[in-house]
């Protein structure tokens, strides 16, 4: 898991960081991608707009050629 800090302007209130959970195939390998729309899209999840990580809800993106679900984490 990768963590990205969101100390920037425009971050959603109460969202301090984002955790990237890799999307895994049944065999345990990751899904390769160049763009987010090549990644599987779980129900109730959207593609991250322009790879912006300050979303209030989980979204799917392509990070370093691998599909991940970016999950916002609340501030302590």
Q: Determine whether 49 is exposed, middle or buried from the number of CB atoms within 10 Å of its CB (0-12, 13-18, 19+).
A: exposed
Residues in the chain predicted with pLDDT less than 50, given as ranges, are 1-10
pLDDT at position 7 is 39
> Is 9 strand, coil or helix?
coil
pTM above 0.95, yes or no: no
């Amino acid at each position: 898991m990768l963590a990205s800090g969101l100390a920037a302007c425009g971050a959603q209130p109460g969202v301090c960081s984002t955790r990237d959970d890799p999307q895994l195939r049944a065999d345990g390998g990751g899904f390769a991608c160049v763009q987010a729309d090549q990644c599987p899209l779980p129900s109730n999840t959207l593609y991250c707009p322009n790879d912006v990580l300050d979303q209030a809800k989980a979204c799917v993106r392509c990070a370093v050629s691998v599909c991940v679900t970016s999950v916002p984490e609340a501030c302590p």
